[in-house]
Amino acid sequence: MLVDGVPTPGVRLEVGADGRLSGVTAGSEPLPDDVRLGTVLPGMANAHSHAFHRALRGRTHADGGDFWQWREAMYLAAGRLDPDRYYALARAMFAEMLVCGWTAVGEFHYLHHRPDGSGYETEHAMELALAAAAREVGIRLVLLDTVYLAGGIGLPLAPGQRAFGDGSAAGWLARWHSLGETLGADPDARVSLGAAIHSVRAVPPAAMREVLAGLPAAVPVHIHLSEQPQENADCLAEYGRTPTGVLAGLGALTPRLSVVHATHLTGDDVTLIGAAGATVVMCPTTEADLGDGIGPARRLADAGARIALGSDQNAVVDPLLEMRGLEAGERLASGERGRFDPGALLAAASTNGYASLGLGENRLRPGDLCDLVELSTQSVRTVGSAPAQLPLTATASDVLRVIVHGAVVADSGRLVPTDGAAGRLPGTMLPEDLLREALAALDAALPTHHATSGDPA
Give the Cβ contact number of residue 63 at 10 Å: 9
Q: Which of 46, 49, 38, 44 is nearest to 11 (CA)?
A: 38
Is beta strand 44-49 parallel, antiparallel or unpaired with respect to 399-404? unpaired
CA dihedral (255, 256, 261, 266) positive or negative: negative
d(CA 126, CA 296) in angstroms, rounded, equals: 35
156 and 138 Cβ atoms separated by less than 8 Å: no
Give the C-alpha separation, 78 to 437, whole Å.
Answer: 17
Asked if 128 and 163 count as a contact pair (C-beta separation under 8 A), the reply is no
Query: What average pLDDT does the segment 442-451 reach?
Result: 61
pLDDT at position 136 over 80: yes
For position 417, what pLDDT does the model report? 79
Count of CB atoms within 10 A of residue 408's CB? 18
Span 409-438, average pLDDT: 78
Which pLDDT score, from 0 to 100, does residue 457 have? 47
Continuous segment of H or E residues that includes residue 301: helix 297-303
Cα separation, 258 vs 242, in Å, equals 17
3-state secondary structure of 70: helix
- Contact of 141 with 190, CB cutoff 8 Å: yes
Query: Buried (b) or exposed (e) across 143-176, using 16+ Cβ within 10 A?
Result: bbbbbbbbbbbeeebbbbbbbbbbeebeebbebb
What gap in Å lies between CA 7 and CA 299, rounded to an integer? 28
Give yes or no for residue 450 having a pLDDT over 60.
no
369 φ, ψ to 5°? Answer: -60, 140
Quick one: average pLDDT of 158-175? Answer: 96
pTM score above 0.85: yes
Long-range pairs for 209-212 at CB < 8 Å and ≥24 separation?
209/250, 210/169, 210/170, 210/173, 211/147, 211/169, 211/172, 211/173, 212/250, 212/251, 212/252
Tell whether the model's pLDDT for residue 453 goes beyond 80. Answer: no
Query: What is 39-370+413-442's CATH number, 1.20.272.10, 3.20.20.140, 3.40.50.980, 3.90.1150.10?
Result: 3.20.20.140
Distance of CA 341 to the CA centre of its chain: 22
Average pLDDT of the segment spanning 365-381? 97
CB 141 within 8 A of CB 83: no
Rounded Cα distance, 342 and 340, in Å = 7
Q: How far apart are CA 93 and CA 291, in angstroms?
A: 23
**Cα–Cα distance between 29 and 174 in angstroms, integer?**
54
For the stretch 294-308, pLDDT in tens is: 999 999 999 999 999
Distance CA 236, CA 111 (A): 29
Q: What is the mean pLDDT of residues 6-22?
A: 94
Question: How crowded is the C-beta side of 34, counted as CA atoms within 13 Å?
Answer: 13
- Average pLDDT on 351-366 reads 96
The C-alpha atoms of residue 57 and residue 24 are separated, in whole angstroms, by 40
Q: What is the pLDDT of residue 56?
A: 85
For residues 201 and 123, the answer to whether their CB atoms sit within 8 Å is no
**Beta-sheet strand order (sheet of 102-109):** 44-49, 102-109, 140-147, 191-197, 221-225, 257-261, 279-282, 306-309
Residues 253 and 289: beta-carbon distance below 8 Å: no
- DSSP letter at 307 equals E
**Amino acid letter, 390:** L
Where would I find the H helices in 166-215? 169-183, 205-214
Q: How far apart are the first and last CA of the chain?
A: 38
pLDDT band at 449 (very low <50, low <70, confident <90, very high): very low
Per-residue pLDDT tens digits for 63-106: 766 665 666 677 777 788 999 999 999 999 999 999 999 999 99
Closest CA to 175 of 235, 115, 110: 110
Least reliable range by pLDDT among 253-262, 263-272, 425-434 = 425-434
CA distance 279 to 359: 14
Residues taking part in catalysis:
261, 312
The answer to whether residues 345 and 393 touch, using CB atoms and an 8 Å cutoff, is no
**In the chain, what are the domain boundaries?**
39-370+413-442
The helix (H) or strand (E) run that includes residue 106 is strand 102-109
